[in-house]
Structure 1
């Protein structure tokens, strides 16, 4: 009995030590590269959203759920991540639709240009934050580059064991807890760097989106219809990466064939009141908080008037939740304004 006890205790102790070491060595994505923390933050939220955004930085940096709530009573969440590829968006959405039934899903179409996996570091910022499920396994299999291994996703310590020399104070500070980095998935920035004149786009040798991208978009359409959600395709109104007319024509055609709504917000920059001298923090690649708030006011009206999303501000419990969210948002905005960079 004593021998069995010692063996079991030893195994438990080893598991605890490995878990702590793994937690220490994995990137924390709080003070540096906060977008790597976005996927996991969704699990802490109440699953009661009428609107879900999915996609890359063109959703999580350009739309403000706080404004959608204050102006229109739309309860929304952004499930974005850096360079989120379309198959990753599909599996994240599939996972979310098991937990909640939104009325509208908004997908930003820029990632259609990627037909194959791109980069491990971006894969990690999406996949490591997912809870273990069939969707996560499928997303990993669809995303891995030839040099990546499933075992390193199952046991991240095998991938990050060499980070010993890179450890900093924040690795120890955030060992057992993580501060929130987003506001319902929105990543805020208050800096102002004017866009200036953008260079002419380089012509491509091939403009047609890959069969793989279309296959996952088809799956997304079917998934939304099975779950009673309206899929809305958008292109965010940012100046770079350049959105080619040939790409836009393909999405217009696809939306027409599938009877979907597609809104190219690049065509509505003036309508939204966006000014790229003051509403971008990185010279036109993304909107800052001022641009995101303008875009959200404009897009929220479309969601209310054309998509029929209801005003839920009369719901006492939900309104109480949003009171705390708004305080957090405004506090962060004030702090960022106090140290913002203007160029």
Structure 2
């Protein structure tokens, strides 16, 4: 009889455990931020994994100076370049490196483009920015290493494994979107590009303050060396860039260090601040936030110039004869144009107000 009693108890124990685990899972899904309404940058990293064709010619890694300044749609429409931006807010270079490692689990792009602004940071500055870069990564050795390299002193690894430990008190911040996107989410970027069509001219841009030391830190240099080594081992062309953002200030001393590194490693380096006039960027019309980032007009000009460079200088070929890619990009272009039109209407603008056809002079 004792054996029979045990047999009757075990299913109840298993069922109770399953209910507890299931309830905790649902609670965690409810409480974690969804990044679909306000701070949408936190959704960008996860969107990569939903892509149908992870055989990109070009993958960008870096901070807002990549995801707000370059349009993969233009690279496809004008040059047949299949590209994706694995960017996130304040993405630190160690996060860029491990995102590249993570990307190589799925594909090997011909070119990796890294924006050098994040070299200014030698350690993580903010848990919030860490989470926007790391929580969207799928679990892998690269994610584990990225978390360990990024955590501030106040953070704990288990909070990333079980986000409910971090977000258990988020009840007061819940919105209808937390319920609507409990299990599924909407796409908020265009292959990693964050679109803005509004215009705010660059005026009274602050100059750089005097720094005690202009040298990049050893940790930042370590990960740039690691990125260059990884690309060299995998036969990937690493292209270093500085986006044409006027602020944060880019110091001449920083520029000299990047130029020296690129020369020593035999890497191409493009400073778009110096190329802005050639590209045709107008800081009165091509930025939506007074020079920090490009709006749609500026991003499309910059992307046309870059596409020409990638084709003429780095030898990328036109893939618009691939019928499957044609179909994929047709849907992406439709979503891109619909987003642009919705924003024109929201801001009371027309396409002609913010999207001139002049694409600059090219290279």
2:347 is paired with a residue whose SS is coil
Q: 1:340 offset after TM fit, Å?
A: 2.1
Report the TM-score, using the length of structure 2 for normalisation. 0.93
SS at match of 2:303: helix
Find the aligned partners of 1:313 and 1:171 in 2 and give their Cα distance: 39
Superposition deviation, residue 10 in structure 1: 1.2
Residue 194 of structure 1 and its aligned partner are, at CA, apart by 0.9
Equivalents in 1 of 2:138, 2:12: separation in Å?
A: 32
CA RMSD of aligned residues (A): 1.2
1:1-343 equivalent positions in 2, closer than 5 A: 1-45=7-51, 46-340=53-347
Alpha-carbon shift at residue 5 of structure 1 (Å): 1.1
Q: Deviations over 1:79-105 (max 9, x none)?
A: 000000000000000010121011000
TM-score normalised by the chain length of structure 1: 0.98
- 1:91-127 deviations in Å (ceiling 9; x for gaps): 0000101210110000000000000111000000011
Instruction: Provide the aligned length of Structure 1 versus Structure 2.
Output: 343
Deviations 1:126-177 (A, max 9, x none): 1111111111111010000001001111111010011011111111111121
**Unaligned ranges ≥5, structure 1:** none
Q: Give the Cα–Cα distance (whole angstroms) in 1 for the partners of residues 62 and 348 of structure 2.
A: 27
Distance between the aligned counterparts of 1:106 and 1:178, measured in 2?
28
Structure 2 unmatched runs, 5+:
1-6, 354-363
How far apart, CA to CA, are the structure 1 residues paired with 2:216 and 2:153? Answer: 22
Q: Which has the larger radius of gyration?
A: 2
Distance 2:182 2:312 in 1: 46
Instruction: Quote the Cα distance in structure 2 between the aligned partners of 1:100 and 1:341.
Output: 42
Q: Following the alignment from structure 1 to structure 2, what is the Cα–Cα distance between the partners of residues 140 and 206? A: 28
Give the match's secondary structure for 2:171: helix
CA–CA distance in 2 between the matches of 1:222 and 1:201?
32
